[in-house]
Amino acid sequence: MTFSNKKVTDSNTNEALSIQHSARQVAIQVMTSVLRQQGSLSTQLARHQQDVSSEHIPLLKELCFGVCRQYPLLNSIALHLLSHPFEEKDTDLYATLLLGLYQLGYMNTPDHAAVHETVEACRLLKKDWATKLMNAVLRRYQREADEIIEQLEAMPSVEYNHPKWLVKRFAKHWPEQFEQIIEAGNSHPPMCIRVNTSTVSRETYIENLTEKGIDATIGQASPSALYLRSAIKVTELPDFEKGFSSVQDESAQLAAHILAPQVGEKVLDACAAPGGKTGHLLEFAASHQNTEAILDLTAVELEPWRLEKIEANLERIGLMANLQCADASDLSAWWNGKVFDKILLDVPCSATGVIRRNPDIKISRKPADIDELSAIQKHIIEQVWQTLKPSGYLLYATCSLMPEENEQQIAAFLAAHDDAIEVPLNALNPDLKIEWGTAANHGSQLFPTLKGHDGFYYCLLKKK
């Protein structure tokens, strides 16, 4: 792997440079918070992107997502260039340096402008003392880039542009899929949409897209998935505001097709945020009903602001659910004692299957997190299992590639519960073709593909 000089953003005009300047300051705030692990990239962007005008948001996202995606490489370069690392109180300066290096290596900013704007950012941070240092470091990189990269490429984190511990675990757990996982993790994800088949067929929606000049191809795993050849604004999707489609990765769409909820059933979506699967469960039931009845769906989410997003999305697609703001594992906080026919349990996880959509994982995720998350998952499934009726089904799901969170978690649960058995993923939906994923000791593991779905894990359990 080399430090690419392929530029991705056109910033050759004076106007663009002034835009870049304002977006840079917000990007420094966002990246400083991410580096200090004060929240995820998506959370920080949601909080700060209002600080720039709407037309500058793409540039802000390019800067932040780009630095996170290339962080293992950029971090190694920065540490090589600095005689002493910045202190904690100067994390904002380190974020500034990483952004400057990213612009030099990956964006269409003229080199002199990238250096000048990075130096000026130090003054705006009221840290004038750092201007000479920042200028010297970036100028040195301009002169010695090839030599520096050549020295660093022997490091696994630089060669694969992933943290060393992740590289080792991917190679250990999935040697045959290792290259695919790494390549996907360093790529830009495709735009995948879910067609609301309770409103319009996938075939008809493709025609609607074609009429608007939008190229799309059908997904091979999910019967409701479409991939767009190029990413567009959601407002450009035909009848998006009427709920005809939603943005959702194909692997995540499989949850509703596996669980196959039917009108008249009582269904739980535990750990519901961001709500894409909540909406899809309702759409699936609505597309298979012959009555005016609706699915009795309860969605539980801990964070109030995330619950508000779920509510807004349900309103857009015109469907309803019983929304509960609570910890799903704290049954006393939300459960009324009435058992569920089916449960979707998409537990909090390491998200190692969706690194390309959440590249800050390369910064924030640590080896100890896997054990901590596994303990949380164990507690949640133990508690939520109590709310499932006999002969009911629970679909366990993660967007992780770690066996400790997936097949090993299920193996331990089955060993501890005589009333639980694993059943095939198409047990509730015989029409669903299971031609995707790799069979694990329990459940099925999907790996991220370059132009297709993300990494995901599913296992369907039945209560005896």
Question: How do strand 444-446 and strand 438-439 relate by DSSP bridges?
Answer: antiparallel
* Residue 303: other Cβ atoms inside 10 A: 11
Q: Give Cβ neighbours of residue 417 (< 8 Å, ≥ 6 apart).
A: 385
Query: Contact at 8 Å (CB) between 232 and 192?
Result: no
Q: Look at residue 450 and give its three-state secondary structure.
A: coil
Q: Which among 287, 235, 295, 224 is positioned nearest to 266, based on CA atoms?
A: 295
Q: Which among 438, 439, 456, 440 is positioned nearest to 448, based on CA atoms?
A: 456
Question: How do strand 340-346 and strand 266-270 relate by DSSP bridges?
Answer: parallel
Q: Which among 70, 67, 77, 63 is positioned nearest to 146, based on CA atoms?
A: 77
Query: According to DSSP H, which parts of 263-387 are helical?
Result: 276-287, 304-317, 361-364, 367-384
Assess whether 399 carries a catalytic annotation: yes
**With the C-alpha atoms ordered 449, 451, 457, 458, is the resulting torsion angle positive or negative?**
negative
CA distances from 203 to 196, 227, 257 (A): 12, 13, 18
Q: Bridge partners of 438?
A: 445
Query: Contact at 8 Å (CB) between 9 and 65?
Result: no
> Which one is catalytic: 64, 349, 399, 459?
399
Q: Which among 100, 127, 82 is positioned nearest to 31, based on CA atoms?
A: 100
CA distance 181 to 354: 10
Query: Contact at 8 Å (CB) between 370 and 443?
Result: no
Query: Within 13 Å of residue 280, how many CA atoms lie on the same side as its CB?
Result: 29
Q: Which among 213, 209, 191, 192 is positioned nearest to 200, based on CA atoms?
A: 209
Phi, psi of 273 (to 5 degrees): -60, 145
Which residues are catalytically annotated?
Answer: 399
